[in-house]
Amino acid sequence: MSQPIRATEVRTSPWPAGTVLTRLAFVAAPNELAETCAAQLTRRYGNVPVEEAEVVVCLGGDGFMLETLHTVLHRDIPVYGINCGSVGFLMNPLCEDDLPERLVRTQAAVLHPLRMHAVTHSGLVEEALALNDVFLFRQTRQAAKIQIVVDGRVRLEELVCDGILISTPAGSTAYNLSAHGPIVPLSSDLLPLTPISAFRPRRWRGALLPSSADVEFKIIEVDKRPVAAVADFTEVRDVVSVAISEDRSLRTVVLFDPDQSLSERILVEQFTV
């Protein structure tokens, strides 16, 4: 088994020039445009099951792309997104012509997920993976109180807030950005840690952690101030502690047209006003 590629690595095409890709799997979001495009592409290029594919072509928006990446996370099959949704930050423009040839020329971004280990008030232990972020949020009208531990050391004794999140570099332009967290390049090997509506300490704006960091959130006054934790699509209610670390044993590969690389998009986003 080869050594896992670092989470922030961006590389050229996974295939040498001249490769002919014949096994494409098309998956479509449940909307008219995506389903119509999938049918047209299937007629032109065929369609194989995901587990037999050289490339999975995902038609939809960023949300459906995230679902697809979770589906192939344990298969190590690259995914190429075609925007049939709204924002399409992780997607490429819609173009049906010469798709196999264009796929060979793509650039690959290799990402590793965050692994969440959550313990609930009842003692239940839940694990989930996140390619975007893991965030905690208050369940009631009262603010949450959260202690932050990094690599076994208490870094913030008590954060009074609506919540807190930790994101991957690829996810730093999603919820993290909306919460006024920093955008980080794929090459940075950093994980943004961002408070959500912090009340005390009011001036704390978060931190940038190395991707090797082990982070734990401990909930204070769990009975009075219940908190939920979310890792991409998995929500766990009434948590008492949540541990998060990057899982280097898993990876997903996202393909982008040569002029549409994820690193370039993240850079452009930092200059968007």
Domain residue spans in the chain? Answer: 10-112+250-269, 114-246
10-112+250-269: which CATH topology? Rossmann fold (3.40.50)
Residue 47 known to bind ligand:
no
* pLDDT tens profile 66-81: 999 999 998 889 999 9
Known active-site residue 189: no
- The residues, ordered by sequence, that sit 6+ positions from 50 with a Cβ below 8 Å of its Cβ are 25, 27, 56, 71, 72, 75, 77
Fold of 114-246: Tumour Suppressor Smad4 (2.60.200)
Q: What kind and span of H or E run contains 35?
A: helix 32-45
pLDDT tens for each residue of 112-159: 999 999 999 999 999 999 999 999 999 999 999 999 999 999 999 999
Tokens encoding 7:
């989470």
Catalytic residue among 62, 76, 223, 238: 62
Report the distance separating Cα 231 and Cα 246, nearest Å.
Answer: 12
162 labelled as ligand-binding?
A: yes
Q: How far from the centroid of its chain's Cα atoms is residue 53's Cα?
A: 22
- Conformation bin of residue 249: beta by default, left when phi > 0, alpha when psi is -120 to 50: alpha
Q: What is the pTM of this model?
A: 0.85
Nearest-angstrom CA–CA distance, 229 and 60: 26
Q: Is 63 assigned to a binding site?
A: yes
132 is in an annotated binding site: yes
